[in-house]
Amino acid sequence: MKLGFKEWQIKTINNYKAKGGNWKTKDDVSKIYGLEESHFEQLKPFILLPEKFKKKENTYAKKEGIEIEYFEFNPNTTSKEEWKKLGFKDWQIKTIFNYKSNGGSWKSKTDVQKIYGLSKTDYSKLEAYILLPDTTEKKEYSNNKKDYSKKIDVNTANAKELTNLKGIYSEKYAAIIIKHRDQLGGFISKEQLKDVWNMTPETYDGLINQVVIGKYEPKKIKINSSSAQQLKSHPYIDWKTANAIYKYRKANGNYKNIEDVKKIHLINKKTYLKIAPYLTIE
C-alpha cells in the first residue's frame, strides 16, 4: 500500500503468490496486472531482484554420499525440502527458518554467503543459481545530495526540475504532474497536486513546503463558444456538467458573466469554486 498499489491490485498479487506465483526478475514485476509503466519505472530501482537471468539446467553433485541438486532459487521463498536438495543439513535449515521467522531476509547473493555453516566452497557452487543481485546498495526514498529547501514553481518547472521535489524520483513521474498541469490549464493552488495520479499523502506532505505558485494566469475555456466535448476535456468538468453548460447556453443565449453558470442545477458551490478560475466568457 505504501508503494502506491491499490487494494484490488494487492489482492491480485496475494492471490498470485498463494497459487505459487513469484517474480524472478525486475521485468517480471512490470507484468503485475494494472501496474502502469510510469509507476513501475518509479519502483524499479528499489526492486531487489536481478534485471534478468539465464535459465540453467538442473545439475547434480555428491557431497558426503548425498546427491545434491543445483537449481535456481530465491532464498527468501525456498522451502525446507528445497534447501535439503541444495545440500543443507537439518541444523542449517532450522537456523535459516529461525532467522526468517524473526523477520530476516536476503537481499543479495553476498547476504547468502553469511548463512551460518555455509563454507566458501559450497557457496561458490550455489552462487550462479541464486536469484538475487550480486550486491545491494542501500537506497532510500530520499537523496541527501538534493537541497529540499529549494522552492519550485510547479507551473513553470520542467520534468527535470520537478525531480528536485522531495519524493519525486523520476522524470517519468514528473511528466505525469506536467500532464495534469496542462489538462488543468495550470495550478492555482498547492492542494491541486493531491489530484495528480498516484500522489500519495506521504509524498504530498513531503514536497508541499517546497512548492510555490508564482504569478500565473491559468489557461481558460471559453464557455460561450466551446462545445460540450471541449468543456469535458477539463479534469474538473465531467460529461453531465459539460453538457449542462452547453445546453444552458443554447437555451438562454451567451453567458453574460461567469457567475451565470451557478444557475445550472448541477453546479453547486464547491464545483463552481473549482471550475470558475478556468472559465471565461470571452
Residues 87-120 pLDDT 10s:
999 999 999 999 988 888 988 888 898 898 889 8
**Range 140-152 average pLDDT:** 67
> Can you give the residue ranges of every domain in the chain?
7-46, 59-129, 152-212, 221-280
Whether 264 contacts 256, CB under 8 Å: no
- In angstroms, rounded to a whole number, what is the distance separating the alpha carbons of residues 145 and 165? 12
User: Is pLDDT at 172 greater than 80 in this prediction?
Assistant: yes
Mean pLDDT of the chain: 87
Determine the pLDDT at residue 244: 95
**Range 200-221 average pLDDT:** 91
**Range 32-42 average pLDDT:** 85
Per CATH, the number for 152-212 is 1.10.150.280
- In angstroms, rounded to a whole number, what is the distance separating the alpha carbons of residues 163 and 94? 46
- In angstroms, rounded to a whole number, what is the distance separating the alpha carbons of residues 187 and 155? 6
According to DSSP, residue 73 is labeled B
- On whether the pTM is more than 0.75, the answer is no
Q: For 221-280, which CATH class?
A: mainly alpha
**What is the C-alpha end-to-end distance of the chain, expressed in Å?**
46
- In angstroms, rounded to a whole number, what is the distance separating the alpha carbons of residues 210 and 166? 8
Percent of the chain whose pLDDT exceeds 90? 49
Query: Looking at the chain, which runs of residues are DSSP E strands?
Result: 59-63, 66-70, 152-153, 211-212, 221-222, 279-280
